Amino acid sequence: MVGVPGEPNVNELTLTPHEDGTLLTLVITYANAEMRDMIIGTGMVDGMEASYARLEAEVLS
């Protein structure tokens, strides 16, 4: 996230073939639990879920 102080986080995105399509897995690693909790508290999880739902709807249409 731009402007967040402290150690950078690491985002690891993996695309795995699956018989029904492709499985997208995203693992985000933060420097510590405090940073993780602060970022989760921003509502990021809801925004990411909505974005992935829109992406899935586009891919399936």
Query: What pLDDT tens digit does each residue of the chain (61 aa) get?
Result: 667 677 788 899 999 999 988 999 999 999 899 989 988 999 989 999 999 999 999 988 8
5 is a domain residue: no
Residue 20: the pLDDT is 87
22 is a domain residue: no
18 is a domain residue: no
49 is a domain residue: yes
Half-sphere exposure (Cβ direction) of 11: Cα atoms closer than 13 Å = 4
Model pTM score: 0.73
Q: How many CB atoms lie within 10 A of CB 24?
A: 13
46 is a domain residue: yes
Residue 61: the pLDDT is 85
Residue 1: the pLDDT is 62
Range of the domain at 46: 29-61
Residue 17: the pLDDT is 97
- Residue 25, both tokens: 């897995």
Half-sphere exposure (Cβ direction) of 50: Cα atoms closer than 13 Å = 5
